[in-house]
Chains A and B, each alone.
Chain A
Amino acid sequence: MELYTQIKKWAQLKPDCVAIFSDGHYLTYREIEEYSNALSVFISEKMKGSDSPVIVYGHMEPLMIVCFLASVKSGHAYIPIDASIPEERVKKIIDDSGAKLFLSPSSVPASLKWQDQLFIMDNAEIEDTIALYRGAETSGDKFVKGEQNFYIIYTSGSTGNPKGVQITYNNLASFVEWMVSDFRLKEHQRFLNQAPFSFDLSVMDLYPCLYLGGTLWTISKDLIANPKWLFQSLKESNIHVWTSTPSFVEMCLMDQQFSAEMLPHLETFLFCGEMLPNETARKLKARFPHAVIYNTYGPTETTVAVTSIEINEEILNEYPSLPVGTPKKDVEIFVVDENGNEVNEGEKGEIIITGKSVSKGYLHNEELTKKSFFLYHNQPAYKTGDVGYMKNGLLFCAGRLDFQIKLNGYRMELEEIEAQLRKLSLVESAVVVPIYKESKCQYLMAVVVPKKHDFEKEYQLTAYLKKELQQLLPAYMIPKKFVYVSSLPMTNNGKADRKKIANEVGV
């Protein structure tokens, strides 16, 4: 992949073409190229002798892209952290990654400012630095390439701490190559970005867009929070390529306006992050008769996505549960039983992904890396923990082996939420139970054994616990419902008996 040269090329050929547009703010290709060059020289100087990653903190500010590119051009991986992540969790990521530079196109969280080891730059300081270094650039041999880390994305970990998935230049290059060749994407299209940059679904639109000289139209969390504004923004977007979780498009489908009439240029839908229901794809087909819908699948550990399939009438009619398709050409997929033996077609087993998309593992965590990453048929391989089966040469997903779940497209470990809950001063012990409807997780329920407290009513205790959790976990990981019990049933080996608990509270 010549990502760097492609962006440079667009900066020369289409200097005034907008690369990213976000809530009325934008940057052109010339600007992202020049600004990232200037900032990369500063980062190289500042970080001389260190290979630590750079944290880029914010939401969807256009300057985020400049910071990403500046980091990799100075030879440092970047760690995207969304501004909605609580400060406690941000601190954990800083400690775990050993990052020494913190770039914040958004405002800097107050409690981080005391960190001595960390050099923090806010929006104004980044802009001043870019102005100061204007015209300077780093030589290409400094750029992140080959097996060096390009980005590190932190994802929920069952121990209670998030873990950093390392994605190399080669991993990303293979992904982008696949995106631009297999999905009928064209140059200079407009791409929707709905996912925060800390969620790798955003990589599915960001880098193909920049590679093809397109324009990224971002949907910020404020817009998603206020559907009235969201629809206003969509109407103005003129997008050609839609990338989102199925949950997000389902929300948009709720409104009759959401159709080809409102988005006349929309040609391609890309879905990833969770199961795409047949019914949702069908509704989309009816509203957007000329658009092509792709379903894809892949964990963060194998670079965004590794399988795909076009969802057409035939597929919709043949498979009530939609397949996730066939692997990209430099990846192989195996379904194995608990002894690691490959199962027959149609039989369920754990999905193993091998090949060029597989990450080198979790940053600074050999133990966790060894658990899931290994060599298989002499290829780098990742044990996904996802259950799946092959049928007619197509891969289907069928749940999880462990306590990882997807809620509205967000991946999380129930054990991480439990670990945080148990730390709260008024919680004796707790288990988190996912509540399903039509095989999709609707919300999380916390079953809590409380300590002695002075609240008169349970809802007051719930409000208090939720407030406390908000300091520790992102909003999407906080259980919706709280149920209080005097004790939690245990299994014979001393673990909380989740099945029994779910039954007892009437799920």
Chain B
Amino acid sequence: MNIKNTVLELLEEICQDDVVKENLDIELFEEGLLDSFGTVSLLVGIEEKLGIHVGISEFDREQWSTPNKIITILENWA
């Protein structure tokens, strides 16, 4: 499964904004695209679509701040 496409699809659905596919370095939280409730949906989606379980307590906003960063983390998820 392609992690990049899956994450971008999820982000587009959760943020309801195409910009996440256009600019993979956009600051999701600073730009107001993602909030805590969106984060929850994102983690649920990641578990459903990629089978990767990330506990919300493992979610660090600084490290998960852009589409590219999220993709990198998940691609290297052990």
Contacts and interface: CB of A to CB of B under 8 A. Distances in A.
B19 interface: yes
26 contacts: A225-B29, A225-B61, A226-B59, A227-B56, A227-B57, A227-B59, A227-B61, A228-B60, A231-B57, A250-B40, A251-B36, A251-B40, A252-B56, A254-B44, A255-B55, A255-B57, A257-B57, A445-B16, A459-B19, A462-B17, A475-B32, A475-B35, A480-B15, A480-B16, A481-B17, A482-B17
Contact of B36 (A225, A457, A459): A225
Contacts of A408: 37
Contacts of A443: 16
Contacts of A247: 37
B17 A480 contact: yes
Given A257-B55, A457-B22, A227 B16 contact: no
A224 interface: yes
A407 to B, nearest CB: 9
Complex A-B, nearest 3 residue pairs according to Cβ-Cβ distance, in ascending order: A481-B16, A231-B57, A459-B19
A463 interface: yes
A262 to B, nearest CB: 10
B22 to A, nearest CB: 6
Given A247-B37, A254-B43, A457-B22, 5 more contacts: A225-B61, A227-B56, A251-B37, A251-B56, A481-B17
The SS class assigned to the A binding surface is helix
B58 interface: yes
A459 B17 CA distance: 7
Nearest to A256: B55
Nearest to B53: A256
B39 interface: yes
Interface string B19-45: 100100000010110011101100110
Nearest to B60: A228
Interface residues of B, number: 24
A226 B16 contact: no
B57 A226 contact: no
A224 B29 CA distance: 12
Interface residues of A, number: 32
A268 to B, nearest CB: 23
Interface string A249-278: 011101111000000000000000000000
A466 interface: yes
A478 interface: yes
Interface in A216-247: 224-228, 230-232, 247
B75 interface: no
Given A254-B43, A478-B32, A226 B19 contact: no
Nearest to B59: A227
A468 interface: no
Contacts of B36: 224-225, 227, 251
A458 interface: yes
A478 B16 CA distance: 13
A91 B20 CA distance: 34
B31 A463 contact: yes
Interface string A471-501: 0000100101110000000000000000000
A22 interface: no
A221 to B, nearest CB: 9
B49 to A, nearest CB: 16
A470 interface: yes
A227 B19 contact: no
A354 B29 CA distance: 43
Contacts of A457: 18, 22
A254 B58 CA distance: 12
Contacts of B19: 459-460, 462-463
Contacts of A458: 18
Interface string B45-68: 000000000011111111000000
Nearest to A223: B36
B61 A226 contact: yes
A225 B56 CA distance: 11
Nearest to B16: A481
Interface in A438-463: 443, 445, 457-460, 462-463
